[in-house]
């Protein structure tokens, strides 16, 4: 079987490897010139690379861990206990363990107790369907109280979903509580995983393995996709190729721009919304905090997450440099998303010393900005009704995109899992 895969991200490469090792001929089309890994791609730093956008994985991420093992990279996995924090009401507090939550001074004692109970209660919910009709906000207010919602959870939801925070389904928050619980060794300690050299190393390895099996990475944008007599035709600026099957991995909205699809399917596509993300990476001379991940719950801050990557990952190839990511999720139509790099850098860097007074712009060697349009699907009420199936209305054209991951939330582990599952279905049908 000859298969076209659109997108050399985690989903596309996992699918391509599954098909290639089973004897199928695969061409992977990728828009970004020479880049692999999609959102989980990398950029060069010192004598190595780091992720363009911060990434870590959890001990419960078994699909990606199995794949890392299969391609011989297990020895490159690092497991580290993070130190996380929250910046709220002008102060930085530790926020790693349930104990930090219980001792968290920004809300009163009764609210803290109710918050702890809410987290525990979420873990006992076994069927996500019971959380589909209630928003995360309603569920949190009911279980943890209005005070803790207003002072804490609202900020956490807003940090991911911006203006749409109130629309997020209870399933999303249930999932977060469950996931964080399953990645703890014991109640107070959690381990996060990072692949030495960035997760790019996995994607590079997969592409090499696909090429060894006569697959190709075609660094060209698919400009049109059409079905013709059961075959799938892929157009690029430099020609056309025909395939038995095609797996599309970017968002359904981008498929709708490339392919003629029936109106009822387009209506479903239009219902699926994503938030965008802007991420600024700083490569600096000195460390500025002891924390890995700090949620910024300050209303005037232009970024909502601060990640000091080098407080999690120690690698001599970074040559002693400090690597920091500042991130903001926002509406795809927000003017800040299309602001110039200079404007974004100015807004973020002017604010950083207000939160971390030891930071000085003079210590920054390099900055990089990465924009991601389809960064986080907006998981609303009864989202199960909106999830598109793998098959599209065009025969032999399939879609496996981030927004189809449900009830889990997006992440490399599920991208790999769904990529492999999609490849298996293509081989079966
Ligand atoms: C800010 C942020 C932080 C994250 N943090 C984590 C984390 O800590 N841990 C974790 O596991 N996950 C994290 N994720 C999620 C993770 O990055 C994604 O779930 C995963 O990388 C998605 O992979 P994908 O292959 O499905 O999609 P993508 O990575 O989006 O890949 C799609 C590919 O398709 C290509 N493409 C698009 N259109 C075309 C076309 N017409 N022709 C050819 N190619 C095309 C794109 O260039 C891209 O390479 C994070 C995501 C974001 C945005």
**Which tens digits make up the pLDDT trace of 65-101?**
999 999 999 999 999 999 999 999 899 999 887 778 7
Share of the chain above pLDDT 90, in %: 79
pLDDT at 360: 95
Residue 424, ligand 1, Cβ within 6 A: no
Q: In which residue ranges of the chain is CATH 3.90.660.20 found?
A: 274-377
Mutate to test the pocket of ligand 1, among 11, 12, 37, 39 (most ligand atoms within 8 A of CB): 39
Ligand 1: residue of 247, 410, 420, 421 to mutate (most ligand atoms within 8 A of CB) is: 410
- Kindly report the protein residue whose alpha carbon is nearest to atom 44 of ligand 1: 30
Domain with CATH 1.10.3110 in the chain: 98-186
- Determine the pLDDT at residue 319: 92
Q: 350 pLDDT band (50/70/90 cuts)? A: very high
Please state the CATH superfamily assignment of the domain spanning residues 274-377 in this structure.
Protoporphyrinogen oxidase, mitochondrial; domain 2 (3.90.660.20)
| 38 CA → ligand 1 middle, Å | 5
Q: Where in the chain is the domain with CATH 3.50.50.60?
A: 2-80+196-272+382-428
Dist CA 419 CA 423 (whole Å): 6
**pLDDT(42) > 60:** yes
pLDDT digits (tens, 9 = 90+) for 131-158: 999 999 999 999 888 988 988 888 889 8
pLDDT in tens, 176-222: 887 655 555 555 667 999 999 999 999 999 999 999 999 999 999 99
What's the 70 CA to ligand 1 centre distance in angstroms?
22
Best CATH choice for the domain 98-186 from the list 1.10.10, 1.10.3110, 1.10.760, 1.10.20: 1.10.3110
Kindly state the tokens that stand for 325. Answer: 């990511």
pLDDT at 335 over 90: yes
> Which of 4, 26, 37, 38 to mutate for ligand 1's pocket (most ligand atoms within 8 Å of CB)?
38
CB of 11 within 6 A of ligand 1: the answer is yes
Q: Are 344 and 369 in contact (CB under 8 A)?
A: yes
The mean per-residue pLDDT over the stretch 281-310 comes to: 95
Mean pLDDT across the chain: 93
**CATH number corresponding to 2-80+196-272+382-428:** 3.50.50.60
The larger pLDDT score, comparing residue 152 to residue 406, is at 406
């Amino acid at each position: 079987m000859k298969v076209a895969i659109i997108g050399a991200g985690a989903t596309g490469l996992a699918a391509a490897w599954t098909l290639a090792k089973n004897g199928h001929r695969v061409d992977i089309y990728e828009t970004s010139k020479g880049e692999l890994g999609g959102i989980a791609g990398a950029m060069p730093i010192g004598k190595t690379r780091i992720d363009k956008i911060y990434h870590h994985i959890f001990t419960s991420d078994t699909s990606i861990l199995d794949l890392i093992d299969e391609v011989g990279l297990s020895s490159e996995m690092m497991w580290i206990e993070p130190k996380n924090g929250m910046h709220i009401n002008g102060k930085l507090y530790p926020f790693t363990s349930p104990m930090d939550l219980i001792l968290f001074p920004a809300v009163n004692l009764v609210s803290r107790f109710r918050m702890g109970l809410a987290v525990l209660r979420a873990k006992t919910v076994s069927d996500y369907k019971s959380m589909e009709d209630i928003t995360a906000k309603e569920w949190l207010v009911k279980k943890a109280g209005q005070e803790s919602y207003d002072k804490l959870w609202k900020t956490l939801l807003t940090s991911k979903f911006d203006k749409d925070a109130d629309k997020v389904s209870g399933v999303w928050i249930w999932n977060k509580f469950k996931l964080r619980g399953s990645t703890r060794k014991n109640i107070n300690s959690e381990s996060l995983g990072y692949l030495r050299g960035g997760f790019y190393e996995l994607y590079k390895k997969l592409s090499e393995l696909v090429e060894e099996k006569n697959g190709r990475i075609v660094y060209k944008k698919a400009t049109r996709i059409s079905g013709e007599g059961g075959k799938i035709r892929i157009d690029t600026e430099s020609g056309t190729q025909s395939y038995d099957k095609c797996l599309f991995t970017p968002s359904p909205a981008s498929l709708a721009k490339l392919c003629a699809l029936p109106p009822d399917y387009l209506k479903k596509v239009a219902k699926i919304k994503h938030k965008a993300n802007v991420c600024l990476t700083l490569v600096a001379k000195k460390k500025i905090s002891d924390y890995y991940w700090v949620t910024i719950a300050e209303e005037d801050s232009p970024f909502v997450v601060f990640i000091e990557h080098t407080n999690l990952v120690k690698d001599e190839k970074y040559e002693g440099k400090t690597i920091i990511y500042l991130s903001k999720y926002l509406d795809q139509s927000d003017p800040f998303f299309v602001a110039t790099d200079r404007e974004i850098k100015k807004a973020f860097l002017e604010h950083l010393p207000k939160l971390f007074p030891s930071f000085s712009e003079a210590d920054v060697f390099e900055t990089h900005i990465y924009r991601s349009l389809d960064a986080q699907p907006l998981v609303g009420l009864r989202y199960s009704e909106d999830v598109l199936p793998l098959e599209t209305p065009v025969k032999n054209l399939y879609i496996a995109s981030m927004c189809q991951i449900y009830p889990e939330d997006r992440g490399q582990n599920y991208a790999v899992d769904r990529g492999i599952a999609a490849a298996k279905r293509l081989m079966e049908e």
